[in-house]
Amino acid sequence: MKSRSLFMLSGATVAVLLVAILVMAQSRPAGAAKDQCWDAVTNLYSDCQFELSVGDYELSSFSDAVTFCRNEDDLVQKTCWINCALDNPDCGEMAGCIDDCFDGATRCGFVIRILYEDCPIVLKNPETDEELSEDDAMAACNAATAEGSPLFDCVTTCAYSNYDDCQDIYDCLKICYAGGTPPTDDDADDDSVGDGSAADSHGDELNDSGGSACGI
C-alpha cells in the first residue's frame, strides 16, 4: 500500500513538471519575438502608421513586416532601416531616413499614404487638371522616382516635414507647383485653405475643395 502511494505521488510530480515545461516552452517564443525587428516595425507601423512597400514586397501587415525584416539578407540595408525606425521618433524624419536606406524605393508608399489616407489630399495631373486616384498617384510617383523629378522631391519634402498637419502639407504643395522650394520647418506658409486646420478635421476641408490643386 505504501509503495502504491509513493508511485502515485511520483506520477503526480512528473505530471506537474510536464505542465511547467509546456508552459515555459509556450512563453519563450513570445519573449523571443520582441527583438530589434519587432521594435522597429512597432515604431513604423503602430506609432507612425506607415507601411513598407519595397519593390515586389507590399508589407501591409505588422507580422509580414517583421518576417521580412528577420529574413532580409542584406544586413547593411537591414541595419540601416532598423536604426532609422528606432532612432527617429519624428515620423517624417523616420520615413526620409528609411528612404535613404532603400535608395528611394520606399518613399512612394510613405508619401502617397500621407497624402491620400492620412489627410486626404488628392493630387492632380498638372497637364490635364485631372484628379489622380491613389493607384494612379502611386504609379506616377514611382515613375517620377525612377526618372528623377525635382517636383516630386518637393512633394516628398512637404509630406515629411508636415506629416502630422494636412493644412501645412496643402500649403507647402502650392509652393512646389508654383516652382518654389518648400520650407524645412512647419511655420513657413500660413496661407489658409478652407476654415480651420485640416489636421484637426482629418482633411475635411481638402475633401470639400475637391482635393489639392497640385498634381504629379
Q: What are the pLDDT digits (tens) for 137-160? A: 999 899 888 888 888 899 999 999
Domain span at 191: 122-216
Please determine, for residue 134, whether its predicted confidence score (pLDDT) is greater than 90.
Answer: yes
pLDDT value, residue 148: 82
Mean of the pLDDT values across residues 119-126?
Answer: 85
Please determine, for residue 188, whether its predicted confidence score (pLDDT) is greater than 50.
Answer: no
25 part of a folded domain: no
21 part of a folded domain: no
174 and 126 in a common domain? yes
201 and 128 in a common domain? yes
206 and 140 in a common domain? yes
Position with higher pLDDT, 53 vs 209: 53
Rounded-to-10 torsion of CA 3, 8, 9, 13: 140
215 and 140 in a common domain? yes
Confidence of residue 184 (pLDDT cuts 50, 70, 90): low
133 and 92 in a common domain? no
Of 54, 70, 105, the residue at which a domain comes to its end is 105
163 part of a folded domain: yes
131 part of a folded domain: yes
138 and 99 in a common domain? no
Cα(first)–Cα(last) distance of the chain, in Å? Answer: 89
Of 105, 132, 148, the residue at which a domain comes to its end is 105
Burial level of 141, CB count in 10 A (0-12/13-18/19+)? Answer: buried
187 and 149 in a common domain? yes
Position 84, amino acid: C
pLDDT value, residue 90: 96
Mean of the pLDDT values across residues 194-210?
Answer: 34
212 and 126 in a common domain? yes
pLDDT value, residue 144: 87
pLDDT value, residue 183: 64
What are the cell numbers at 129? 487638371
In whole angstroms, give the CA distance from residue 85 to residue 75: 15
Of 105, 132, 161, the residue at which a domain comes to its end is 105
Q: Average per-residue pLDDT in the chain?
A: 76
19 part of a folded domain: no
31-47 pLDDT, tens digit each: 445 799 999 999 999 99
207 and 128 in a common domain? yes
78-103 pLDDT, tens digit each: 999 999 999 999 999 999 999 999 99
100 and 126 in a common domain? no
Percent of the chain with pLDDT over 70: 68
What is the tally of structural domains in the chain?
A: 2
Position with higher pLDDT, 51 vs 206: 51
Position with higher pLDDT, 39 vs 60: 39
Query: What is the Cα 3 distance to its own chain's centre?
Result: 66
Contact 40, 85 (CB under 8 A): yes
In whole angstroms, give the CA distance from residue 102 to residue 177: 27
Position with higher pLDDT, 147 vs 16: 147
